[in-house]
Chains A and B, each alone.
Chain A
């Protein structure tokens, strides 16, 4: 399982396109927002948590189809499915690899972009925490969507249609943590709920994803 993890990370870093791309996309989304809504500081700092969360969500979405599609094309997915490692574990590791290559850089880069969006200083901590807690859920849900659409050619658009509604609870609680943190309100309740969503998806969704993959590989 560790081998799968390192293999996926190495592929993402070396094969190009995957690793930095999500981060660059995140940056561009956040840079474009002031052009669209105007450079007014107060407005920007109000919407900053939401925009940063939306950016992170879209950046995650962008690299989802890479999770299984490439492996399916060159046949390594069949090998993984027949290997002694349970498919659930493979799925979980692939989601983890996706998180390390897209989610984690986003978490690290978020404060820099927070500066661009003139996020209040006290909000930085909670923004980073909310992204760190929430992005694993995004990767796991995304892996489920990728498993659903792995057999479909040009399934990218369908993938977003399927995955985005599933992102709603994570987005609500995550943005709520960031917003409450920026305005100095109580963050405990949304943070706990966000953590609960993440825990449950990480614990249960790999089983659904693995089941779906088996159906697709039949």
Chain B
């Protein structure tokens, strides 16, 4: 019976990635180009925010992925700790820099939008602050991965750091809520709300989000495959030296 655990086999994983990666990458590019062009050139300016509203097409998807990348790392870390599939640990490792970059994109686009709208590049608003903290968590995670030589120990330690970090990230999120009042607007998208972003902005935004997700998937698959191959090369080299 086919199950998801079959992909824990590195060979099977790389073979699947070989098949999957080109279409996913092409789709990601297509969705991003469509969404961004549609969003930037074929939607009207907002009556209050003018054309600055269009940064939403970069800001919202990247912010969404910044959080979900960490979530994916958390799940992958759990799988590694429980079932010890190497591919899972490598995927978590591969996702971290991507997530960190997404966090930076969200912060920078937010700053660029905030300058004309709020009159400031930066405010110690709960959402902004917790994103900054999330970024620090990413940095620590990446630094720990690169600091440890033994691959399995590194995977173990970073997994535990990811678990503990998740708890503290959530804790910080609510702690900063308590510490300062917000300037940031509420969620732009949610399922249980009548009032979302107006439809003209909504559909290109969805396409952009789809594009970002596909891009993330493509990058993670690519980086995981690279890691697997790098590891195999190391193993082969080591075997060569032995003989």
Which chain A residue has the least Cβ–Cβ distance from B159? Answer: A215
Let me know if A208 and B163 touch, CB within 8 A. Answer: yes
8 Å CB contact of A190 from B139, B148, B178: B178
Which chain B residue has the least Cβ–Cβ distance from A218? Answer: B153
1/0 per residue A146-173: CB within 8 Å of B? Answer: 0011011001001001101110110011
Let me know if B148 and A197 touch, CB within 8 A. Answer: no
Residue total for A at the interface (Cβ-Cβ under 8 A): 28
Which chain A residue has the least Cβ–Cβ distance from B141? Answer: A162
How many angstroms from the CA of A22 to the CA of B149 in the assembled complex? Answer: 31
Min distance, Cβ A107 to any Cβ of chain B, angstroms? 22
How many angstroms from the CA of A135 to the CA of B178 in the assembled complex? Answer: 20
Interface SS of chain B: helix
How many angstroms from the CA of A156 to the CA of B179 in the assembled complex? Answer: 30
Let me know if A161 and B140 touch, CB within 8 A. Answer: yes
Let me know if A208 and B164 touch, CB within 8 A. Answer: yes
- A168 with B175: in contact, given A151-B148, A158-B143 (CB under 8 Å)? yes
Stretch in contact with the other chain, from B9-17, B34-42, B109-117, B165-173? B165-173
Does B216 sit within 8 A of A, measured CB to CB? no
Question: Which residues does chain B contribute within 8 Å of A197, judged by CB atoms?
Answer: 171
1/0 per residue B56-68: CB within 8 Å of A? Answer: 0000000000000
8 Å CB contact of B172 from A155, A168, A189, A211: A168
Does B161 sit within 8 A of A, measured CB to CB? yes
Min distance, Cβ B209 to any Cβ of chain A, angstroms? 27
Does A144 sit within 8 A of B, measured CB to CB? yes
Does B160 sit within 8 A of A, measured CB to CB? yes
Let me know if B168 and A168 touch, CB within 8 A. Answer: yes
Most A CB contacts (10 A, CB to CB) among B153, B160, B175 go to B175
Does B189 sit within 8 A of A, measured CB to CB? no
Residue total for B at the interface (Cβ-Cβ under 8 A): 24
8 Å CB contact of A212 from B136, B157, B175, B179: B157
Question: Which residues does chain B contribute within 8 Å of A193, judged by CB atoms?
Answer: 175, 178
Min distance, Cβ B158 to any Cβ of chain A, angstroms? 9
Q: Can you report 18 residue pairs joining A to B where beta carbons are below 8 Å apart?
A: A151-B148, A158-B140, A161-B143, A164-B136, A166-B168, A168-B168, A169-B172, A172-B176, A176-B179, A193-B178, A197-B171, A211-B160, A212-B156, A212-B157, A215-B153, A215-B156, A215-B160, A216-B153
What 20 new A-B contacts, CB under 8 Å, besides A152-B148, A165-B136, A169-B168? Answer: A149-B144, A149-B147, A158-B140, A158-B144, A158-B147, A161-B136, A161-B140, A162-B144, A165-B133, A166-B164, A166-B165, A166-B168, A169-B172, A176-B178, A189-B178, A193-B178, A208-B160, A208-B163, A212-B160, A216-B153
Residues of A within 8 A of B (CB): 144, 148-149, 151-152, 155, 158, 161-162, 164-166, 168-169, 172-173, 176, 189-190, 193, 197, 205, 208, 211-212, 215-216, 218
